[in-house]
């Protein structure tokens, strides 16, 4: 039986799980207090802390670490890649440590996987479907000026896992379907999946598409320019307006979508208007991606934490039901998605790729 350790480092947590075949035998979330993390200059400097805690918990739980032969970490900000499972190699580690496309907690995923694999005879380290997964059609890269280019940064791991799960449920191959997948969480990304490739998707990190619980999404460019040169705000303040302090945070003072939903049900008119605007913008994005797929859509999939909201599902059905059938897969399970990718490699169903950027 193939044994897998999946690792998903977040900004203030380290999540990991152990799978014996398809069965999850251990799942843990270690929370890192902010004051603990502030001791470190960079995210990479947190490596020893997180590595030590993972190994400590595995030993406490009686997991025989040497029996685990596949270790897979959430993919970080490497150079853009096609989707798939990649072997962790020295070049990947070097790029993640340097932060060639930025520093993010996910950069630690492959580094942690590599370290643990090196301690186990015969073990292998991988990453899968990183956030920089890039399968855009060339026409989708044009932004409107040669100094700018549209970039593919989105929730690739969960979008791909949800699309594959849906294909399995309807007894089809993911590679044979045209799907629109909307990941609806703290960030929102809507992708056009054509025969197994995401040929267009919004940059969910810093400035495209619908606003979300904590991101502003697409903003009126002229107004942004005026704000930048108003002398009232610094670069980091404006960046926080876009990522972290936009969306629900800016309008309603919270990034908790469940709290917003509760306010709506209690008759809060402002919360209702803001939530409705988010629904509206998501529906518009789905319509855009239907155009990308020339109207040939086999299904619209809603996933992520916001997909638990029945009012959202009802709204998308009302606005987009004419495009294709709508299927809801609420929540996300990135640890399971990582483990299943590793198992596909272990079983010979998928060949791992080499990172050679």
Are 141 and 150 in contact by the 8 Å Cβ rule? The answer is yes
3-state secondary structure of 47: helix
Residue 37 resides in a domain? yes
Confidence of residue 221 (pLDDT cuts 50, 70, 90): very high
Long-range contacts (CB closer than 8 Å, 24 or more residues apart) made by 41-45: 42/99, 42/103, 43/99, 43/103, 43/104, 43/105, 43/107, 43/108, 44/96, 44/97, 44/99, 44/103, 44/107, 44/108, 44/111
For residues 164 and 205, state if they share a domain.
yes
pLDDT in tens, 240-299: 999 889 999 999 999 999 999 999 999 999 999 999 999 999 999 999 999 999 999 999
pLDDT at 357: 85
For residues 301 and 205, state if they share a domain.
yes
- Computed on alpha carbons and rounded to an integer, the radius of gyration of the chain in Å comes to 21
Q: What is the CATH number of the domain that holds 57?
A: 3.30.420.40
- CA dist 237 and 230 (Å) reads 13
Residue 151 resides in a domain? no
* 152 backbone dihedrals φ, ψ, rounded to 5°: -90, 100
Segment holding 8, helix H or strand E: strand 3-9
Tokens of 48: 């020893």
Residue 354 resides in a domain? no
Query: Any idea how long the chain is?
Result: 357
pLDDT at 103: 84
For residues 304 and 342, state if they share a domain.
no
pLDDT in tens, 313-343: 999 999 999 999 999 999 888 999 999 999 9
Segment holding 193, helix H or strand E: strand 188-194
For residues 312 and 166, state if they share a domain.
yes
Residue 134 resides in a domain? no
Question: 100 or 201: which carries more pLDDT confidence?
Answer: 201
pLDDT in tens, 337-357: 999 999 999 999 999 999 998
pLDDT at 206: 80
For residues 111 and 221, state if they share a domain.
no
Q: Which residues neighbour 221 within 8 Å (Cβ) at sequence distance 6 or greater?
A: none
3-state secondary structure of 300: strand
pLDDT at 10: 84
For residues 80 and 11, state if they share a domain.
yes
For residues 7 and 111, state if they share a domain.
yes
Distance of CA 210 to the CA centre of its chain: 16
For residues 187 and 273, state if they share a domain.
yes
Residue 353 resides in a domain? no
Are 100 and 46 in contact by the 8 Å Cβ rule? The answer is no
- CA dist 43 and 300 (Å) reads 36
Residue 145 resides in a domain? no
Residue 39 resides in a domain? yes
pLDDT at 105: 87
Query: How many structural domains are present in the chain?
Result: 2
For residues 325 and 339, state if they share a domain.
no
pLDDT at 53: 95
- CA dist 304 and 306 (Å) reads 6
Are 342 and 4 in contact by the 8 Å Cβ rule? The answer is yes
3-state secondary structure of 183: strand
pLDDT(231) > 90: yes
For residues 182 and 301, state if they share a domain.
yes
pLDDT at 37: 84
Print the domain residue range for 196: 156-330
For residues 203 and 280, state if they share a domain.
yes
Residue 104 resides in a domain? yes
């Amino acid at each position: 039986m193939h044994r897998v350790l999946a690792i998903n480092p977040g900004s203030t947590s380290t999540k990991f799980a152990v799978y014996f075949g398809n069965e999850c035998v251990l799942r843990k979330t270690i929370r890192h207090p902010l004051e603990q993390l502030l001791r470190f200059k960079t995210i990479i400097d947190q490596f020893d802390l997180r590595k030590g805690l993972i190994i400590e918990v595995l030993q406490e739980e009686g997991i025989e670490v040497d029996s685990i032969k596949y270790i897979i970490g959430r993919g970080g900000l490497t150079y853009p890649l096609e989707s798939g499972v990649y072997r962790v190699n020295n070049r990947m580690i070097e790029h993640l440590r340097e932060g060639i496309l930025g520093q993010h907690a996910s950069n630690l995923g492959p580094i942690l996987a590599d370290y643990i694999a090196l301690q186990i005879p015969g073990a292998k380290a991988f990453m899968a479907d990183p956030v920089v997964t890039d399968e855009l059609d060339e026409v989708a890269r044009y932004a409107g000026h040669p100094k700018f280019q549209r970039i593919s940064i989105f929730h690739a791991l969960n979008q791909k896992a949800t699309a594959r799960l849906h294909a399995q449920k309807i007894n089809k191959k993911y590679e044979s379907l045209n799907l629109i997948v909307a990941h609806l969480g703290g960030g929102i990304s809507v992708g056009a999946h054509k025969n197994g490739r995401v040929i267009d998707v919004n940059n969910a990190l810093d400035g495209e598409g619908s606003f979300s619980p904590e991101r502003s999404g697409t903003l009126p460019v002229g107004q942004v320019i005026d704000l930048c040169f108003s002398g009232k705000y610094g670069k980091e303040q404006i960046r926080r307006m876009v990522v972290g302090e936009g969306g629900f945070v800016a309008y309603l003072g919270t990034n908790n979508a469940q709290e917003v939903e509760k306010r709506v049900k209690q008759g809060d008119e402002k919360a209702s208007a803001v939530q409705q605007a988010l629904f509206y913008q998501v529906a518009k994005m789905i319509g855009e991606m239907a155009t990308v797929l020339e109207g040939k859509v086999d299904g619209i999939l809603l996933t992520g934490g916001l997909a638990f909201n029945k009012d959202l599902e009802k709204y998308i059905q009302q606005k987009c039901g004419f495009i294709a059938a709508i299927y809801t897969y609420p929540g996300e399970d990135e640890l399971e998605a990582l483990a299943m990718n590793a198992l596909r490699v272990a079983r010979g169903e998928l060949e791992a790729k080499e990172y050679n950027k």
